[in-house]
């Protein structure tokens, strides 16, 4: 066992062609030959999972066939291993005079993954706590070890692990099981003899005394206070996850210990002010054979490490002595009940992930899913022994010698050292090459380049046809009723399983611009500071006891017919069991009418946590941040989007978190409340069963009548406000009865789009690239052509250029509902070359170098997104938020079907050609001399 990432590289390589489907890259080609709603593959620490889903029975058989053949009968060609894993290749493969360098998709993916300090910490934590077997290595691959993996080792790993005797199959849904079993048997199982696989993970030998380790990481480039960037955690080894009731109990215990402001570790650690947030991987982790629990702090001073360790020990002692309040246990059991009733579109996939680890170690997956039984058993244990949980804390935390203390501190030289080690590794590899080896590398590089560039015959792969797509969508019945005078409430009767979903949208069209940047912060703390007579702890308890969650989030909603018109506001979302509806609506009334913005201490705690979370999320979402920034000067809504959810917001939150006096910021919240929390510019929506509707209508009416009307001295109008009834464009809608939903749209007649190029310097070993173009709104027929074009460009041109040749983990194009066409790349070793590839993609499209088959495949791919399943809780949401009626969606659908070759070439030229439409560029990544010397770029 080693950290070469062999299971991860194998996961990539098996999907590159198989006996029955020997074409290159069947996995990516099937994305465009099916109506799949999900296709992927994941490598965990001790298993690899190959999940897919679709709503079409024929498609299910096609995908099952491709996945079965890929996993059990892959080609595992050497060139595919080179492309996906790692290779030595000339910087320019056509020029043997250029330097040799490391390339490969997994190699760059993992360099990107370890640019995230949380990932660095979590990986070390598992490796050090479970050091005896497979968990001691990096299954995804350590970038410094990946170049030690050989093609021979890859094939050997497949031969010893990928056998039906070592596999488990999981299906979920309404298609007949017999058909799946027959196909699995005929296409895979019948071709093997049963063996006894030797892949069991042995138990970890428990330690006789605790251990301690220190590691280093890169400094947080968004923080100004470098003295507070230490992370420390204390972790405990727990029992085998196949003991399902013990695992259930410990998972629950973990939530009691760390979940929310009433938990002992939140009070002791988070509210101590010593750090910004819990350490990474906090709580119960049941993904390894023996589970573990971890707790600690990040964003703290190095000198406070011992203090934090003492607090953790003391908190464990306190819990052993005092136990937990009954209400907190009830709140958690209520959470389990509501989670079992709440239906999400990825329910089947969530179940797969939930049972995978336990089943992989021969646990009973059926027993694991019997949640009701576990809850009853848990209640019984508590009844028989009130100290049941305290004894578990004593056994697994207080008296557990298998205890790891891990601390991580920033090192200014960290990134430089990583680069040096990679350079050293490269030097070693190159110095051991003979002239013959070098010649072979050059020839292999040319061979790979040729293979990547030539057209591939994918006719061996199964495919759906455009004629398999439903021509029309099923319409959703909605009723819009005016409540409390003039507030429109949209009711959508759905089989919600006894759960009521309530949402409210409040427009922010009259908010003074200087308050805009603080709206995301307002939203993140609004439901956490207390309300009415409840302080923040009591409020958290009530939310847990009575609801499935209450949240607020800022939204910038585009208009479907005008690029320069948009709506800004806040969406409030919540759901509860029908018996708790009065309590939930009462909580909303208190939050709207009397939020407790005077809780300064807790506000500071929440700000620090929010800032830390945003900052930690940048390495994983770099392409999204690049795209938001690239589009900020293209539409009036773009700048607001950057303010609400771009790097500007991350930086603002970090600066607030580091303020010594936070009062001026706190004082802005009641001002935002004045503009937002009233029923003047509000609309509501309810999704519930028909039987719940009359009670819900009553409760929502009471809530709205409790709200005040706004009293403002004068109303600033920063831009023109247009009232638009929804649905727009096609008159009244046949399936929406009652009143109309009015949207307060903002337009800025003075706005002129402009071009901007921004390079954000980050100490990442890879780049995230975004280029955005202003195109056409949703109702314009060009929008449909651009949508198909985005899919076509990604699959037929950019995938090859950015991922296969360039070695980036991901890249492509997409068209957003707001009419912004985005080119992007993710964990990309290149930057300016990728921008060049974007330009070449436009030339490729303008000259029509694609076939009718390519267009049909792009349509399949687009319709798999358009027709993705919608949960009962979200039906009618497009109408509620965007004013999109089913008639408008059907008209758009017909435009998608009608897209043709000439139309695709026309929109490529009209919008994407040089000088045609305003473009914006943004890049997140390391220093770049080419860009630094180009005065058209802004460096930040």
SS3 percent helix, strand, coil of the chain, rounded to 5, is: 50, 20, 35
Which one of the listed residues 11, 109, 648, 801 is annotated catalytic? 11
Long-range contacts of 59-64 (CB under 8 A, 24+ apart): 59/34, 59/35, 59/464, 59/468, 60/175, 60/180, 61/179, 61/183, 61/462, 62/30, 62/33, 62/34, 62/462, 62/463, 62/464, 63/30, 63/34, 63/36, 63/39, 64/180, 64/183, 64/184, 64/187
Distance of CA 802 to the CA centre of its chain: 22
d(CA 126, CA 122): 6
| CB 520, CB 628: distance < 8 Å | no
Which one of the listed residues 84, 599, 804, 857 is annotated catalytic? 84
Residues 134, 139, 140: CA angle, nearest 5 degrees: 170
Give 585-632 as a 3 state SS string: HHHHHHHHHCECCCCHHHHHHHHHHHHHHHHHHCCCCHHHHHHHHHCC
Would you call 545 helix, strand, or coil by DSSP?
Answer: helix
Would you call 157 helix, strand, or coil by DSSP?
Answer: helix
Radius of gyration of the chain from Cα atoms?
28
d(CA 370, CA 358): 14
| CB 68, CB 184: distance < 8 Å | yes
C-alpha count within 13 angstroms, C-beta hemisphere, residue 239: 14
The 10 Å CB-count burial string (b at 16+, else e) for 161-170 is bbbbebbeee
d(CA 106, CA 804): 11
d(CA 400, CA 690): 53
d(CA 112, CA 3): 16
Does 11 qualify as catalytic in the annotation? yes
Beta strands in 494-594 (DSSP E): 499-507, 550-558, 565-577
Closest of 863, 928, 927 to residue 893, by C-alpha: 863
Which segments of 270-364 does DSSP mark as H helices, in order? 305-322, 326-341, 347-360
The 10 Å CB-count burial string (b at 16+, else e) for 471-484 is eeeeebebbbbebb
Closest of 814, 685, 766, 687 to residue 102, by C-alpha: 766
Distance of CA 60 to the CA centre of its chain: 25
Longest CA–CA separation in the chain, Å: 85
d(CA 218, CA 762): 11
Residue 187: its H or E element: helix 177-187
d(CA 383, CA 396): 21
Question: Any idea what DSSP says for residue 796?
Answer: I
Closest of 464, 570, 561 to residue 781, by C-alpha: 561
Cβ–Cβ contacts within 10 Å for residue 328, how many?
18
| CB 505, CB 682: distance < 8 Å | yes
Calculate the CA dihedral of residues 451, 457, 463, 465 and round it to 10 degrees.
120
Does 84 qualify as catalytic in the annotation? yes
Q: What is each CA distance from 267 to 272, 525, 528, 734, in whole angstroms?
A: 7, 17, 14, 54
Residues belonging to the active site: 11, 84
């Amino acid at each position: 066992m080693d950290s070469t990432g062999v299971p991860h590289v194998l996961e990539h390589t098996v999907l590159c062609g198989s006996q029955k489907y020997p074409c290159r890259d069947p996995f990516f080609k099937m994305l465009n030959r099916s109506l799949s709603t999900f296709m992927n593959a994941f490598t965990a620490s001790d298993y690899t999972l190959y999940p897919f889903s679709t709503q079409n029975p024929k498609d299910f058989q096609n995908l099952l066939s491709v996945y079965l053949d890929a996993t059990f009968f892959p080609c595992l060609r050497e060139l595919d291993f080179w492309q996906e894993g790692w290779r030595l290749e000339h910087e320019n493969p056509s020029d043997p005079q250029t330097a040799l360098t490391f390339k490969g998709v997994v190699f760059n993916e993992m360099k990107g993954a370890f640019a995230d300090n949380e990932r660095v910490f979590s990986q070390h934590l598992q490796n050090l706590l479970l050091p005896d077997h497979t968990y001691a290595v990096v299954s995804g691959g350590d970038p410094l070890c990946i170049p030690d993996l050989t093609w021979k080792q890859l094939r050997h790993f497949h031969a010893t692990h990928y056998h039906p005797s070592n596999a488990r199959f999981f299906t979920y849904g309404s298609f007949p099981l017999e058909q799946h079993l027959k196909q699995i048997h005929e296409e895979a199982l019948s071709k093997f003899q049963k063996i006894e696989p030797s892949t069991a993970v042995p138990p970890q030998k428990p330690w006789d005394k605790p251990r301690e380790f220190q590691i280093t990481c890169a400094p947080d480039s968004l923080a100004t206070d470098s003295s507070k960037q230490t992370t420390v955690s204390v972790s405990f080894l727990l029992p085998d996850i196949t003991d399902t009731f013990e695992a259930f109990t410990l998972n629950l215990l973990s939530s009691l210990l760390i979940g929310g402001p009433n938990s002992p570790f939140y009070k002791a650690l988070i509210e101590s002010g010593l750090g910004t947030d819990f350490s990474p991987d906090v709580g119960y982790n049941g993904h390894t054979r023996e589970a573990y629990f971890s707790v600690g702090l990040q964003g703290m001073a190095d000198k406070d490490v011992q203090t934090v360790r003492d607090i953790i020990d003391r908190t464990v002692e306190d819990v052993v002595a005092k136990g937990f309040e009954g209400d907190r246990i009830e709140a958690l059991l209520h959470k389990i009940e509501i989670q079992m009733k709440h239906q999400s579109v990825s329910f089947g996939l969530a179940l797969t992930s939930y049972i995978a680890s336990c089943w992989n170690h021969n646990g009973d997956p059926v027993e694991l899913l019997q949640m009701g039984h576990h809850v009853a058993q848990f209640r019984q244990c508590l009844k028989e022994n009130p100290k049941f949980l305290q004894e578990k804390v004593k056994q697994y935390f207080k008296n557990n010698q298998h205890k790891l203390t891990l601390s991580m501190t920033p090192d200014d030289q960290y990134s430089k050292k990583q680069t040096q080690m990679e350079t050293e590794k490269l030097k070693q590899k190159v110095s051991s090459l003979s002239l013959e080896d070098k010649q072979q590398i050059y020839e292999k590089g040319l061979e790979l380049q040729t293979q990547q560039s030539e057209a591939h015959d994918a006719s061996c792969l199964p495919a759906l046809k455009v004629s398999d797509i439903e021509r029309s969508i099923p319409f959703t019945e909605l009723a819009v009723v005016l409540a409390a005078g003039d507030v429109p409430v949209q009711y959508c009767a759905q089989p919600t399983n006894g759960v009521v979903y309530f949402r409210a949208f409040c427009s922010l069209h009259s908010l003074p611009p200087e308050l805009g940047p603080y709206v995301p912060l307002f939203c993140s703390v609004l439901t956490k500071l207390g309300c009415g007579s409840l302080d923040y702890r009591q409020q958290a308890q009530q939310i847990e006891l009575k609801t499935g969650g209450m949240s607020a989030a800022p939204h910038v909603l585009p208009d479907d017919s005008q690029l320069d018109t948009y709506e800004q506001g806040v969406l409030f979302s919540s759901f509860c069991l029908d018996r708790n509806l009065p309590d939930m609506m009462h909580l909303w009334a208190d939050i709207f009418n009397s939020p407790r913005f005077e809780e300064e201490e807790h506000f500071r705690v929440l700000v620090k946590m929010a800032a830390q979370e945003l900052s930690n999320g940048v390495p994983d979402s770099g392409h999204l941040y690049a795209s938001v920034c690239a589009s900020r000067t293209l539409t009036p809504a773009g700048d607001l989007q950057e303010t609400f959810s771009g790097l500007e917001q991350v930086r603002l939150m970090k600066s607030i978190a580091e303020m010594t006096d936070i009062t001026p910021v706190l004082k802005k919240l009641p001002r935002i409340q004045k503009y937002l929390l009233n029923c003047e510019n509000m609309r509501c929506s309810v999704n519930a069963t028909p039987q719940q509707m009359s009670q819900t209508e009553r409760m929502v009416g009471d809530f709205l009548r409790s709200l005040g009307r706004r009293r403002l001295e004068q109303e600033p109008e920063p831009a023109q406000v247009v009232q638009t009834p929804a649905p727009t464009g096609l008159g009244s809608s046949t399936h929406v009865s009652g009143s109309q939903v009015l949207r307060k749209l903002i337009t800025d007649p003075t706005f002129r789009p402009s071009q901007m190029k921004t390079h954000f310097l980050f100490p990442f070993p890879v780049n995230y690239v975004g280029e955005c173009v202003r195109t056409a709104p949703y109702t314009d027929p060009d929008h449909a052509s651009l949508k198909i074009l985005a899919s076509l460009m990604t699959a037929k041109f950019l995938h090859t250029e950015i991922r296969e040749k360039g070695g980036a983990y991901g890249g492509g194009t997409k068209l957003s509902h707001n009419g912004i066409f985005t080119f992007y790349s993710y964990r990309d070793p290149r930057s300016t070359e990728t921008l060049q590839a974007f330009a070449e993609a436009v030339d490729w499209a303008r000259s029509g170098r694609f076939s009718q088959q390519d267009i049909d495949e792009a349509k399949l791919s687009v319709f798999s997104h358009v027709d993705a399943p919608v949960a009962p809780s979200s039906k009618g949401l497009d109408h509620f938020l965007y004013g999109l009626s089913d008639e408008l969606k059907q008209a758009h659908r017909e435009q998608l079907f009608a897209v043709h070759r000439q139309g695709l070439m026309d929109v490529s030229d009209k919008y994407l050609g040089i000088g045609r439409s305003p473009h914006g560029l943004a890049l997140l990544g390391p220093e770049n001399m080419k860009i630094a010397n180009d005065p058209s770029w802004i460096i930040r």
